[in-house]
Amino acid sequence: METEVAVVPLTPLDIHNKEFSRGFRGYDEDEVNEFLDQVIKDYEMLIREKKQLEEKVAELTEKLNYFANIEETLNKSILVAQEAAEEVKRNAQKEAKLIIKEAEKNAERIISDALAKSRKIALEIEELKRQSKVFRARFRMLVEAQLDMINSRDWDELMEYEAPDLEEGAREPLSQP
């Protein structure tokens, strides 16, 4: 079983304060100090760069989250718009069907009314024809009766009739038929 050892990162101060033990024939102290100063500068620069990069990563992560939220919102909006468009389309189709159905009913009613009026007019025409025939027959009978009367011999006899003497007729009262 391995145990993890927590490694604490060095700070520039740790490097600066580091003291090495001296040995026989050790390193040149000035050279080591110069090198350590350079390491401290480089290490400080790396720490600053790391901090700047961490800030940049945090900023970019925040922007990424912002744009991810915008993308999610846009996707939801697109879905809502598509659903609304589908609903509008369905409603328009339903309304169109209702309008067509109503128009068909109105057309059937208009045709039915027109046929009923046509039948009524045809019946009225037939009735007028029948009445016209009856009138014509009666008128013919009346004219024929009048012609018969005009052609009767009574007219000829009337023309041959001679009036009696008025003096004699004045004495007798006229009889009424």
Structural domain count of the chain:
1
Contacts of 32 by beta carbon, 8 Å cutoff, 6+ apart:
20
Tell me the per-residue pLDDT of 120-169, one tens digit each, with 9 for 90 and over. 999 999 999 999 999 999 999 999 888 888 888 777 777 777 777 766 55
Token reading at 155: 């007219």
The answer to whether residue 63 is domain-embedded is yes
The answer to whether residue 109 is domain-embedded is yes
The answer to whether residue 80 is domain-embedded is yes
Higher pLDDT, 46 or 31: 46
Flag whether the pTM goes above 0.95. no
Model pLDDT, residue 172 = 57
Write out the DSSP string of 93-105: HHHHHHHHHHHHH
Model pLDDT, residue 33 = 83
The answer to whether residue 122 is domain-embedded is no
Domain range spanning residue 56? 27-115
The answer to whether residue 105 is domain-embedded is yes
